Amino acid sequence: MPALSSTHINILSKVAAMSSTVSATSGFWKRNQQRLAPWLFLAPGMIMFSIYVIIPIFQSIWISFYDWDGLGPKTWIGLGNYAELLDDEAFYTSLKNNILWLVLYLLAVPAGLAVALFLNQTVAGIRLYKSLFFFPFVISQVVVGLIFTWFYAPDFGLLSALIKTLTGENVAILADERYVTLGIIAAGLWPQIAYCMILYLTGLNNINPEQVEAARMDGARGWSLLWNIILPQLGPATFIAIVVTVIGALRSFDLVSIMTDGGPYGSSRVLSFYMYEQALSEYGYRMGYGAAIAVVLFMIMMVFITLFIVRMLMRERHA
């Protein structure tokens, strides 16, 4: 009994030491304080991150090996879902569209730079112009989608009316498999350019005026000034702009869903939309197949994310 109570006291004091101030009786805490403290501070973030990010990733990968409708029993089919993906026309259409998105969406970066350079001057009311240019990024993607749907709408849309007066032909951009993805990307570029523009505007504010002055004295003008002096200083802004644009392109979903619902006959699907359609939409509920698509999308994103992280680490080391 006496032996037991002494251990009891020992444990109690340890607990007390952990939760409040350091107690003299606690050897363990004192010895390991330096090692443990960082982990204790990291713990809340790490727990959240694993619950909401890490664990779901592995769960998705796990589900992608099953045939499951979300309600009934799961059946293990191994790589069956992936084998089916390889033979699925709709998957290739989505993949192709995703690549198209990636490439064309990056136009937002130079376009945003151009607008930022244009707006980076001191004229009366420039703040108003800046906010007007930034406006599309503030409104919801759903609204952007609707605006462009009407803009493209056959018969009453502005653009189709314009095309009709120019060519005499009625083109329904969102109903034509040749133009539909381009049409949606154009809608997506509108707010994305505004986003890149704001990144560059802040970047331009931080440009060292002395360097510009010195360059001008040395005779740098126009393109050479932009290319050799301004752009290198905008490096960080460019980096962020490219990162958000690439990720934005890969997770494009809202516009596709609002403007075409993947149509006509599935020709404007992207991977994220196809995943949603298979796993969660009215006609879907193939959780395993949807998860397999999500895993493929994750792998593609991983390529870019790794590149960015490696680059960032390199910079930190050099700095």
Partner 1 sequence: MFSFKAATGLALGYALTMSAAFAGELVINSDQSDPAPKKAMETLLEGFKAAHPEVTIKWNNFDHEGYKSAIRNFLTADAPDVVSWYSGNRMAPFVKAGLFEDVTDLWTENKLDDQLKSAVKSMEIDGKKWGIPYSYYQWGIYYRKDIFEKEGIAPPKNWAELVAACEKIKAAGMTPFAIGTKALWPTGGWFDYLDLRVNGYEFHMDLTAGKVPYTDPKVKAVFEKWAELVKPGYFLENHAAIDWQDAIPQFVQGKAPMYLMGNFAVAAMKDGGLKEEQIGFLQFPEITAGIPMAEDAPTESFHIPSGAKNKEDARKFLAYLATPEAQTKMNEVLGQLPVNNQSAKSNDPFLKAGFDMLANAYALAQFYDRDAPAEMAKVGMEGFQQFMVKPDNVDAILERLEKARGRIYK
Binding site for partner 1 (CB under 8 A): 69-72, 84, 89, 152-155, 170, 172-175, 260-261, 263-266, 277, 280-286
Is the CB of 248 or the CB of 264 nearer to partner 1?
A: 264
Is the CB of 133 or the CB of 152 nearer to partner 1?
A: 152
User: In whole angstroms, what is the distance from residue 249 CA to residue 142 CA?
Assistant: 16
Question: Shortest distance, CB of residue 226 to partner 1, whole angstroms?
Answer: 42
Question: Shortest distance, CB of residue 306 to partner 1, whole angstroms?
Answer: 34
Closest CA to 94 of 246, 293, 285: 293
Q: Which class for 287: exposed (0-12), middle (13-18), buried (19 or more C-beta within 10 A)?
A: buried
Query: What type of residue is 305?
Result: I
CA dihedral (28, 34, 37, 42) in degrees, to 10, reads -130
Is the CB of 215 or the CB of 261 nearer to partner 1?
A: 261
CA angle 290, 295, 299 (to 5 degrees): 150
Question: Shortest distance, CB of residue 134 to partner 1, whole angstroms?
Answer: 30
Is the CB of 112 or the CB of 183 nearer to partner 1?
A: 183
Q: How far is CA 77 from the centre of its chain?
A: 31
User: In whole angstroms, what is the distance from residue 212 CA to residue 174 CA?
Assistant: 46
Is the CB of 24 or the CB of 166 nearer to partner 1?
A: 166
CB-side exposure of 131: number of CA atoms within 13 Å?
A: 3
Question: Shortest distance, CB of residue 290 to partner 1, whole angstroms?
Answer: 12
User: In whole angstroms, what is the distance from residue 258 CA to residue 214 CA?
Assistant: 51
Question: Shortest distance, CB of residue 281 to partner 1, whole angstroms?
Answer: 8
Question: Shortest distance, CB of residue 274 to partner 1, whole angstroms?
Answer: 12
Is the CB of 36 or the CB of 280 nearer to partner 1?
A: 280
CA angle 214, 216, 220 (to 5 degrees): 120
